[in-house]
Structure 1
């Protein structure tokens, strides 16, 4: 396989070109304008940031991508799916509140925000994963699968389970419905935390397999009947139904690659990663720590695998930021991500994505 082209721009500006204009030039040089956007719906997958976290991408960058899509005649929308955990983005209403709080509104970005898996995280498309070893049918947010073109706009940072979060993580995990996220994170089936359960019975109505009963005002799940679809997690009003967070990091990475395959197969796609404010952990946290390395720059490619590989190499070539978690953990380590989260191996997702035919980890870096 030929090397994939990954385009790069640093964060330096001039009096004639600010960062948004430079990002626009990067995207166009990388060839996104070769995609036929005319009258096509374009999903721009982004992380809106958990309230309290300040390392997520600024809405200004999203507007740059939106403006290009509109220039090319497309109909863009910013999107993400609801979270599995309890927080500020667990349902569409809270998720929209969080997005607006963090500056992602139609007025600031030039397009609407759609939460792809609906109000309770149960609006999903079931996509067969051909050749999947772990996922047979990916559960993807419906609005994402309804789009004609898919674009990922990624904040590249560390991650406590996958080593780093880049294009593959933003696409694979981020586009999964709540049930899809459970499938990736869990090696088992959901359970009911009895102290939180109010016995409302909503979970029994959504279950298609008669696996849930309510006795003495408490729900119980019969794991012999349960198929692990996770829809009960989405509808529970008190978050009493929760996933078994028992999947190994290695298999989690491989499931993310399989979900990414399901999202991208059969339609045009393009990927942009900003390696700035490289926090040690995910933007899903309601806080962010000191960046582990200095800002690196902006990257773009048609190949999400090569893009992640290029960004990872770029981060690992950077000096350690003084006072960061990496600075405290770095002695004896040659990999910044492993130094921050020693139980992770980010290479697993990239290698498995290559096996899945998503791209190549061999890239040609082209600086603009």
Structure 2
């Protein structure tokens, strides 16, 4: 398979040439203008960020891409799908309010904001893919009905998949609630009772009422009720609730890749990763920790697999680490002679699974050429 091109720019600016200008120049160099946008509905898939979390992409960047697409004749809208877990983004009304609070509103963006899977997360289209785990993917209607897909992704760590980039944002983020349940259901967390202090945060945060405290004040999961959303993993401050990285969790990562395939199937698509505010965990949680690496830059490509792989390599090649970050305090794990920041902060995950499966199903290539812009 031929190497895919990934275009990259750093955060160095000068008078008269700011980061918004650099972003537009980057995507043009990467070939976004070769897409025929004329009178096409363009879904710009982003993550609005859970209120309280400040690591999400600034809406100013999204507004610049909206303006560019409009200039090319497209009809863009900014979108995300409802979450499976509790929080401010589990239904369209609360989700829109959260998006507006974080700056993702029509006044700032210059286009409409649409919750892809409707009021309660039940509006979806089934897209037939007939892959290893997924026969028909349940994709939020607004995304499924769009003519063109543009993803704008905050590149960061992730407690279930190791890192979150284009594939995670597109695959998991575009699924309806039923689709998310399907992707999550293979992998369910486990409680390490020796570390559980009985604080009850996991009990309060479980939307399925699947966690209780036993007579010894230890958390217990009812796996008949658990849907594997991972919220208990995110809220536990003591390392008691953890991802069970076994065959089932590998399946979850492969399902995410297959859902990404479904979203992009037979559609022009283009992807942008923002390698900045590289928090150890997902933007789904109402907090963000100290970054595990310095701000690196922005990368863009038509190939989401090559893009994510290039971003992993860029993060792992960075020398400086902010003081007190999760990476600094983690036991460092090496892969191919390099310290792997994502494996170090989430040792029970394997970020390579989704990328390898994505390549196998024809979503993209792990081989890439990095082009500096």
- Residues paired across the two proteins, number: 323
Give the SS at the match of 1:84: coil
Give the SS at the match of 1:174: helix
Measured in 2, the distance between the counterparts of 1:270 and 1:106 equals 22
What displacement does 1:263 show? 0.4
- Of the three residues 234, 243, 265, the one matched with 2:227 is 243
Residue in 2 aligned with 1:98?
A: 98
| 1:89-238 pair list within 5 angstroms | 89-130=89-130, 132-187=131-186, 193=209
Mapped contact 1:330–1:336 kept (Cα < 8 A): no
Q: 1:102 to 1:335 in 2, by over 3 A?
A: same
Mapped contact 2:48–2:98 kept (Cα < 8 A): yes
TM-score between both structures, scaled by the size of structure 2: 0.83
| 1:1-368 pair list within 5 angstroms | 1-130=1-130, 132-187=131-186, 193=209, 243-245=227-229, 248-319=248-319, 320-333=321-334, 334-368=339-373
Q: Which moved more, 1:319-328 or 1:265-274?
A: 319-328
- RMSD of aligned residue pairs (Cα, Å): 2.0
What displacement does 1:38 show? 0.5
Q: 1:193 to 1:68 in 2, by over 3 A?
A: same
Mapped contact 2:187–2:252 kept (Cα < 8 A): no
Q: 1:321 to 1:124 in 2, by over 3 A?
A: same
Give the SS at the match of 1:78: strand
Q: 1:43 to 1:313 in 2, by over 3 A?
A: same
Deviations along 1:57-114, one digit per CA (max 9) or x if unpaired, are 0000100110110010000000000000000000000000000000011110111100
- For structure 1, the residue ranges without an aligned partner over 5 or more in a row are 196-222, 224-240
What displacement does 1:39 show? 0.5
Mapped contact 2:8–2:300 kept (Cα < 8 A): yes
What displacement does 1:188 show? 8.9
Measured in 2, the distance between the counterparts of 1:193 and 1:315 equals 37
Measured in 2, the distance between the counterparts of 1:194 and 1:153 equals 34
Give the SS at the match of 1:64: helix
What displacement does 1:128 show? 1.2
Mapped contact 1:126–1:139 kept (Cα < 8 A): yes
